[in-house]
Structures are given as C-alpha cells and as structure tokens.
C-alpha cells in the first residue's frame, strides 16, 4: 500500500505540470491580456471598475504623448509611447520569453510563492486565504448534507423499488436533477430573500455586519441563517445524483446470490442490508465523492457564490479569468489541481478501509 501511495504522489507532479502547461499555452494565444487591458483603460475604453493598476502603471511616464510613434503590437496602442509599452510589458513580466516565464512560475509554485495580483494591491496568497473558508464551507456542508440525505433515501428506494414511495420520490429526484442549482438559487431569492414575497433570509454574505462582536451561539445561528439558501440550492442537484446512484448500487447487490443465501439462513433484513449489502454497494457511491466535493468546491459553487454574493474561490477565479489577472488564475488552478488529486487518492484509501478485499499494493508492483 505504501508503494502505491508513493507512486500516486509521484504521478501528481507530471499531472499538475501538464495542467499548468496546457493552460499556459492557451493563455499565450488568448486576446486581451493585462497589457491590453491597461492600454484600453488609458485610452478610455476599459472598465471603470478596474480601478488603479497595481504597481503604478499610471506613473510609468509617457502614457499619452501627442505625437508618439505608433506601436502596432497591441490593439489600441496608437498614440502611446513605445517606451511606455515596454515598461508595461516589464511590469507584468511579458518582456521575457514564454518558456522563461513558465519555468519561473513552476519554480515559484513549487515553493507556494504565487506573487502579487496584477490589478489588486495584494499578494495572491492573501486573496486565496481570504476566500478559501467560504469555498470550504460550501463544499464540505453541501457534500455532507447531500450524502446524509441521498444514502438513506437511496437505500429506502431500493428496498421499496416499484412502490408508490419509490415513484413519487423519483419524481422529486428527477426535478432536482433536471433544474440547475443556480435556477433554484434564483427561485429561493425571489421567494424567501425579499425578491417578491418573503424576506426570511439574507440575500448576500455568510455573516451579518458586526459578526465578530456576537456571542458564540449568536455567531453559529447567524452563520447557519446565511447558509440556508445557498446550501439548499447546491444540495438539491447533488442529492438527486447521489440518491439514484445509491439506489441502483443497492438494487444490483440485493439481487445477487449471496443476499439470497443470507436471507435463507434467517438473518434479519437490516442485518442483510447493513451487514452484507452496504459494504459492497457503497463502493461506487464513494467513488463519486471526489467529483462531488470538487464540483461543490469550485464549478458547482461558482454561480451560487455569484448569485448570493459570496466571496469564495469560484467567484475569485471567474473574475480573475475575465479580468486577465493571470497570477490569480494560475494559482487557483494549481490549488484546485492539487486538491483534486489529493481527494482522489483519499478516495482510494477509503475504498480499502471499507472493503479490505481491495488491494492496491498489487497494482504498484
């Protein structure tokens, strides 16, 4: 087992390198980089929300000379000094060849040095540290709640397969699976967050103003109050998938010969289900845990974070991509890649814990 774990850890290195390399190459051909955004801002075409440029691009000098030589490398650079463009490229590191920039990034990331944001006067690690608790809260609570609902419900649906209970719960599950989570989020806002009907829950954020001064119990209840709507929107779609997966897994196991043999020996139904069927049926459910967690941690919570104004990593990544803030983009990609690979390894270890018959060490030889 130790050899298998070490081999998996060793394989993480080329996997992460490959992900970063592919993304880096794509970024090189993507139009509208940070230099172009600053040029557009200086020419009066950029987004007013850009604010000032980190590092003082406006103080580089020679920004708008009247008869400056035209620089054709960047669209919209007419009227800007070539020296000014060169200083912008140096500020953002684009004065070096692409391979040098990539190698420097890999060396820095190996030491978890992510540099500074292009357009925020703060380090990338500080940005991530500020947003990480929000994404972890959403991801963990959504995964735990969806599994707490889907596993008992899936088992009951398998035991009562074809009954009225199975049919009407399947109808609810299919609706939850079909409608995107962000649509449920919008509906919840309209109904319960002051959209058009009731104002029972807050519209944005995870805590109320002055939360740090609340008592411990007040902090817990305030946090839970803010989490109700975003978690409900996330869990509806997630529990539907897990429920169907659990039901189908149990149905496959219940129909096998060893279950019939256990029943013929006089074992109770609960002993058969939870003493024999559960261990085998839950393997495929556990296999979906890494994907469920990573989906909730990033892709699944991206729109939810945006709708409910939650400052998480998903929302940070999205705004960094649209704003061409490349240090933040690559840092969040690097962290998500490491998390995804680590969670997949953890899933394999849980396989062995649940079913000792699985031997990964044999695959490491």
CB 149 within 8 A of CB 231: no
Identify the structural domains of the chain with CATH numbers, from first to last. Answer: 35-119 (no CATH), 125-322 (1.10.3720.10)
The Cα–Cα gap between 217 and 214 comes to: 8
Give the dihedral of Cα atoms 82, 83, 88, 91; nearest 10 deg: 150
Per-block mean pLDDT, blocks of 10 residues, the chain (365 long): 80 89 83 72 52 43 43 58 74 79 89 84 86 81 84 86 88 82 82 76 78 83 86 79 83 81 78 76 70 63 76 79 84 84 78 66 54
What pLDDT sits at residue 359? 63
What pLDDT sits at residue 347? 74
What pLDDT sits at residue 355? 64
The Cα–Cα gap between 68 and 302 comes to: 44
What pLDDT sits at residue 73? 62
CA torsion sign for 330, 25, 85, 317 is negative
Helix axes 124-159, 313-322, angle to 10 degrees: 120
3-state secondary structure of 87: helix
Burial (CB < 10 A; 0-12, 13-18, 19+), residue 37, is: buried
What pLDDT sits at residue 294? 67
The Cα–Cα gap between 176 and 183 comes to: 11
CA torsion sign for 142, 145, 151, 157 is negative
What pLDDT sits at residue 207? 77
């Amino acid at each position: 087992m130790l050899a298998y774990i070490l081999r998996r850890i060793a394989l993480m290195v080329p996997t992460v390198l490959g992900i970063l390399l592919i993304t880096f190459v794509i970024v090189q051909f993507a139009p509208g980089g940070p230099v172009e955004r600053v040029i557009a801002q200086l020419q009066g075409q950029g987004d007013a929300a850009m604010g000032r440029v980190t590092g003082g691009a406006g103080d580089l000098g020679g920004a708008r000379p009247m008869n400056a030589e035209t620089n054709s490398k960047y669209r919209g650079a007419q009227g800007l000094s070539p020296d000014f463009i060169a200083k912008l490229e140096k500020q953002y590191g684009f004065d070096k060849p692409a391979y040098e920039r990539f190698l420097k990034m890999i060396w820095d990331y190996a030491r978890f040095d992510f540099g500074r944001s292009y357009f925020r006067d703060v380090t990338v690690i500080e940005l991530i540290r500020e947003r990480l608790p929000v994404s972890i809260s959403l991801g963990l609570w959504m995964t735990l709640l969806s599994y707490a609902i889907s596993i008992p419900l899936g088992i009951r649906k398998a035991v009562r397969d074809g009954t009225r209970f199975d049919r009407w719960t399947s109808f609810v599950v299919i609706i939850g699976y079909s409608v995107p989570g962000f649509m449920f989020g919008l509906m919840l806002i309209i109904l319960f967050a002051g959209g058009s009907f009731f104002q029972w829950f807050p519209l944005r954020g995870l805590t109320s103003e002055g939360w740090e001064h609340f008592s411990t119990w007040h902090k817990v209840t305030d946090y839970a109050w803010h989490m109700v709507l975003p978690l409900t929107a996330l869990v509806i779609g997630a529990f539907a998938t897990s429920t169907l997966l659990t039901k189908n897994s149990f149905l496959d196991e219940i129909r096998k010969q060893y279950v019939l043999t256990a029943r013929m020996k006089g074992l109770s139904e609960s002993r058969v289900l939870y003493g024999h069927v559960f261990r085998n049926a839950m393997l495929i459910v556990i296999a979906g845990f890494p994907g469920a967690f990573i989906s909730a941690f990033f892709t699944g919570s991206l729109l939810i974070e945006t709708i409910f104004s939650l400052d998480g990593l998903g929302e940070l990544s999205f705004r960094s991509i649209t704003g061409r803030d490349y240090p933040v983009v690559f840092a969040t990609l690097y962290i998500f890649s490491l998390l995804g690979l680590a969670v997949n390894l953890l899933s394999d270890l849980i396989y062995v814990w649940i079913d000792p018959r699985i031997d990964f060490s044999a695959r490491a030889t």
